[in-house]
Amino acid sequence: MRILVRLLTILALGMLLTDVAAGPLRVHPSNPRYFTDGRGNTVYLTGSHYWYNLQDGENRTEIIHFDYIAYLDFLKRYNHNFIRMWTWEQAAWAPWTKEKVLFDPLPYQRTGPGKALDGGLKFDLTKFNQAYFDRLRSRVIAARDRGIYVSVMLFQGWSTGMKGRFTQGNPWKGHPYNINNNINGIDGDVDRDGNGHEIHTLQVTKIVKLQEAYVRKVIDTLNDLENVLYEISNESEAESRDWQYYMINFIHKYEKNKPKQHPVVMTSLFNSDNNILFSSSAEAISPGGRIYRDNLPAADGRYVILLDTDHLWGIGGNYSWVWKSFLRGFNPIFMDPYTAEEHQNHPSKSEWELIRKNMGYTLSYAKKINLASMVPRGDLASTGYCLANEGKEYLIYLPSSNKILHRFFQLVGMNETVTVNLSATSERFNVEWFNPRTGETIDGGTISGGVSRSFTAPFRGDAVLYISAIKADNY
């Protein structure tokens, strides 16, 4: 009996240490910009993700095996708690390169008879490759053990054919649903144009049934785990709208009678209208477009919104955008080039380290403040970037002035200033400054509310200001 109690205690402590609570995420009932966990904590999601964090693959004819554990340790060093787990549907080729990219493992067995277009055996679409699902489960568990939530990508919009200006290679040649690559007579190229974009529609009933079987297999593999979200597809074509709506509802329906129910994410469609996302039955969405780059609109709480640099820049973003996103009620995530050789000389490489660090900094503040009661209140701060529980807590970002003025301010010794409306209460507040470039925190003393007050950062460059009521019974 003592041994059993000890084991249960160790298990409970392990769950506490991972920051992943018992029970999947739910949309927060009073602040639906965020999730809540099995312990009632408000969960803000932020982190880096990488294209090969599930399947191995590189721009060459040789598979390069990805060090997933080193990647997770990298995320924890930066205090990240979220990844998208990428999937690729094709065995070979990709739209962005002429080289023969390889991806392995895939969900289906390659049994033959006969050879597929990539030179391997043809796929049998009635037989799952258990190695794929075993890897998926083990990697989600490894992330859970480090306190990381995983958005499991089910389908891939860059796997069905050439895409926009990306026509160097055609992944449809390597897709299992290409009639030349399977022994089941399945043909996803309905219009015979050499692409298979139709497989992310409802046009071919046999293909939808195969996809349903695959989704059921993924859910059966992961349903008992708490750190799971399901993402329908990454940047599929605009014509995939109804198919994605169908798959969202299919997951909800299939999990309804399962022990656990998990959130579903709908991701930006390729060159499409974000209104499609805002009309979905998903719990979370990930929109695209320039509107979410700089002067972001405040999140209105209709969905949990994962703002992803992938859908805004591709390879890009900056750490200032991380703070702007956080203080407008979003959950910012970064498509991280990580170890990709072709991006090691990218002009934005020096910015990537600051993005990684500042996502971790925002997570620390999300845990420090009473996030459930904080809403975007740009009207309370002259900079326009403010999360507030008016009269109790204010978290404000002071972005650097434009580059020319910023250099001038540095020369003459001027620091960033903000005016904050504290008229909601005359109580006293603690003031704290945070330097997002250095990670340094500086005590700003105490002030009284009841009026609007101006604050000047104690260092040059952009700054974060945290103002919190001193009374302990405010919550």
Express each pLDDT in 159-180 by its tens digit: 999 999 999 999 999 999 999 9
Domain that residue 450 falls in: 377-469
What is the C-alpha to C-alpha distance for residues 22 and 8, in angstroms, rounded to an integer? 14
Tens digit of each residue's pLDDT (9 = 90 or more) over 297-327: 999 999 999 999 999 999 999 999 999 999 9
410 and 281, same structural domain?
Answer: no
249 and 262, same structural domain?
Answer: yes
Its sign, for the CA torsion 418, 462, 307, 74, is: negative
Instruction: Look at residue 190 and tell me if it is in a domain.
Output: yes
230 and 104, same structural domain?
Answer: yes
424 and 366, same structural domain?
Answer: no
225 and 88, same structural domain?
Answer: yes
- What is the SS3 assignment for 127-159? EECHHHHHHHHHHHHHHHCCCCEEEEEEEECCC
Instruction: Look at residue 399 and tell me if it is in a domain.
Output: yes
Strand partners, 432: 443, 466
Instruction: Look at residue 7 and tell me if it is in a domain.
Output: no
Return the higher-pLDDT residue of 346 and 247: 247
257 and 167, same structural domain?
Answer: yes
Given a cut of 90, is residue 272 above it in pLDDT? no
Indicate which CATH number applies to the domain containing 406.
Answer: 2.60.40
Which pair of structure tokens corresponds to residue 336? 């991280």
326 and 385, same structural domain?
Answer: no
265 and 148, same structural domain?
Answer: yes
Instruction: Look at residue 17 and tell me if it is in a domain.
Output: no
In this prediction, residues 66-90 reach a mean pLDDT of 97
Tens digit of each residue's pLDDT (9 = 90 or more) over 379-433: 999 999 999 999 999 999 999 865 545 455 445 557 999 999 999 999 999 999 9
Instruction: Look at residue 146 and tell me if it is in a domain.
Output: yes
Instruction: Look at residue 11 and tell me if it is in a domain.
Output: no
Indicate which CATH number applies to the domain containing 330.
Answer: 3.20.20.80
Strand pairing category for 97-102 and 92-94: antiparallel
Instruction: Look at residue 195 and tell me if it is in a domain.
Output: yes
Query: Which DSSP state fits 468?
Result: E
Question: What pLDDT sits at residue 9?
Answer: 39
Its sign, for the CA torsion 399, 459, 354, 147, is: negative
pTM for this predicted structure: 0.93
258 and 117, same structural domain?
Answer: yes
418 and 296, same structural domain?
Answer: no
Which pair of structure tokens corresponds to residue 194? 């050499």
269 and 399, same structural domain?
Answer: no
Let me know how long the chain is.
475
395 and 253, same structural domain?
Answer: no
Q: How many domains is the chain partitioned into structurally?
A: 2
What is the C-alpha to C-alpha distance for residues 420 and 467, in angstroms, rounded to an integer? 10
What is the C-alpha to C-alpha distance for residues 420 and 453, in angstroms, rounded to an integer? 5
What average pLDDT does the structure give for the chain?
Answer: 92
